Each structure stands twice: as structure tokens, then as C-alpha cells.
Amino acid sequence: MRLELGKIFIKDIQFASESKIENNVLYVNKEELIKAIWDDEAIVSVDLDIAKPGESVRITPVKDVIEPRVKVEGRGGIFPGILSKVDTVGEGKTIALKGIAVVTTGKIVGFQEGIIDMTGPGAEYTPFSKLNNLVIIAEPAEGIKQHEHEKAVRYIGFKAAKYIGELAKDLKPEETKVYETKPLLEQIAQYPDLPKVGYVYMLQTQGLLHDTYVYGVDAKQIVPTLLYPTEIMDGAIVSGNCVSACDKNPTYVHLNNGVIEELYEKHGKEINFLGVIITNENVYLADKERSSNWTAKFTKYLGLDAAIVSQEGFGNPDTDLIMNCKKIENEGVKTVIVTDEYAGQNGASQSLADADPKADAVVTGGNANQLITLPKLDKVIGHIDVVNVIAGGNHDSLQADGSIVLEIQAITGATNETGFGYLSAKTY
């Protein structure tokens, strides 16, 4: 598959009488957008706000972060199986609006939603503080169930991202990058002397509110399978989960997966990047065994020399991660795992809930238990009281002076396990 990914760089967002993109500014007709995205009785009100880098603004609880994109040539549309037909995507031409995101918030769904600070120390831990964010505040109707609440907000976010993306459909990208992965035998033959490398992409699927969707299918229902990397760039995988904010993969991260982009950078130069194996994270032991067996089988079937495995979440999924690692290693495939750590606030605890001697090449996104004090900011979009109950906070997190003391676990993207963040560590 060959995907031409065009980029238009948005430098500002403003509300206006007409929705359009002009001179790198996104203008949004507030009433028109709300009408286009809100038709669900599970949501009682929808409002929009804007948060820009450097402003004294805090967004919480953050549910999802989504980059607007539009398909301009080729099969399918953005978010296939959800907003578009279930056509296979990943080829043709797509335009991405860089420098902006749709962020969804409102009353809390679960207890593992996050914080985005646009300034101050918290902003240094989240990559989303560097974006111009169009924030959707969607409040639930009384008495709806949590999974209904999550789905309604999820769809509102996707619809908004699609609406904004389509404003760029007839614009000329400022920059275009081509990504291509050929059918397997052709791809192997193209670079026969380079090591064959694949990416094992673990998706959070551990139950209600721990969902990831592949072409609209809840990934709990899949067995590991193969995808072209460009399918993921084209919206084949989206987030629907409420796991800890620091290491969940918002939809923005799926669209901009750093492991995939880096492997493409080295493709044809240092490695031969053959593709992506997606696999789920399971609750029961038998399911973990099945999925890790299939994952290891695919690495052997592809004839890989090496594989990178990234995790989403922590605790129970650590077992899936280590199972994948050791079984892939047992197939003679060199393995690197990408994770984060829950090593306690003093950093002295065991970092992962599971371990194995074969997991000897590890990239870390940082220690999610690290404490931080966030100063009071001038404006809150959402509900500030949730910081006392979200993962990483406690009943004393919100201080009398308006500051917040909690673990960076509560900051969206702080320890992301695809490397989509700023933290890591080295062993000397």
C-alpha cells in the first residue's frame, strides 16, 4: 500500500461566522459545528471552547484527543467502520491538519481520565499542550450508563474531527510524505540484505471502558492479525478506552504512532519494515496464551529478524507484554519492548508486574508514579473536582490554594508507551 500523507499546518483557531481554513488559521462556526455533531439523547448539552499553547488553561477530565484528517483520494474515508464505510484504507491520498486537535471532555466517564495543562510544569509532560485544541464539552443526560456515555462522547469527537478535516479537502498540502509497504514477497525482495523488522502493536481491550476499535470492531473480539502500517495512519484504529491517562493511546496517537513513523524513516536504509501485527490485551490467562501464541506465530511466519512490541496500560497487560516478548524471542526473533513503569513514588518498586530474562531490551516512557505539583491556572475547561478521583490523584489532591498534587499518571500522554511523549531513562 502506498499512502501520500499531506500536511497543512494550523497556527491558530478562532470562532467565526463561517467554518473554513484560511492562511493557516482554522475558523469554526460554533453553532454549525455543534449541530453537525450532536444528535444523541445520551448527551444533554454540548459546548465548544479553545485552548492554545501557553495559555493559563487546564482541560480535565480529558477523554480523547483526535487529529482532524480527510481522505481525498483512494478507497474509504476517515474512521472506517465507524463514520465511513468498512473499506480498507491506507492507500491513496490523505490530508492531516497538523498543530491542532479535537479534545473531548465533560463529566467523568470512568476514573482513568486525564489532565492537559496548556502552561506550567504540567504542560511539559504532555505533547498535547503544544497544540491548538478545540475542546468539546459534552455533558451526559441523567442516569445514562457509563458505556453509553463513553460511546456518545467518542462519536461526537470523531464527527468533529471529520467535520474539521473536510474543510481541508480542496486545499493544497504544504508538505507531503509518502509511505509505502509492498505485498510481503515483493517487500522482502526489495531489500533482501536488510534485517526484516515488524511491529507488534498491543491494543487495550480489557473489558468495558477498556476498548480499542479496529475498522469499527471491538478488538476484544479479534485474534492477532496483520495490518499495513498505512492503514493505521488512515484511521483504521481508534481509541474507546478510559485507562490511565499517562499511557493510554488516544486516537491522535494511533494516527501518529511514533514507532511506525520511525520504522518508516529507517525503512530501506537500515531495515526492511514488513508490517504491523496487532494484538489485544486480555483478562483471562487462556486468552493471553492464545493471543501471544498467535503473535509469536506471525513473527515466525513473516520471517522477521527483529520485532518491536509496545504496550498500552499497565499491571495486568504486563503479563501480555512479557508473554509476547518471551514467545517471540523463543522463535529466534530479537525483541525490544516499549513500556512505562509504575515503580512507586520513590522509584524503588518493581517497574512491571511481570518479568522475564528474555526481556533484556526495554525502552521506558518514564515512571507514572512520579509526583508533581500543578499550580492553579486561570481557567478550567471541564470539571476540576475530578482530580481527586482520577487515577494518579487522591482525595487530597486538590489543595486549598487551587494547586493540585498528584502523580503524572493523571497527565494525558505523560508516559505514553509508543514513545509519544518526552520521558525515558537510560541504564549506564
Cβ-proximal residues to 62 (8 Å cutoff; 6+ apart), any chain: 103, 104, 105, 113, 114, 115, 116, 245, 382, 412
Q: Residues 42, 43, 46, 242: which is the catalytic one?
A: 242
Q: Is 325 a catalytic residue?
A: no
The runs of H, that is alpha helices, within 314-413 are: 316-330
Element (DSSP H or E) covering residue 58: strand 57-62
* Closest listed residue to residue 295, CA positions, set 317, 314, 280: 280
CA distances from 106 to 49, 60, 64, 103, 385 (A): 12, 8, 11, 10, 12
DSSP conformational letter for 281: -
Residue in the block written with cell 461526537: 156
C-beta separation of 282 from 316 below 8 A: no
- Rounded Cα gap, residues 68 and 255, in angstroms: 10
- Rounded Cα gap, residues 281 and 68, in angstroms: 27
Instruction: Point out the residues that are catalytic.
Output: 242
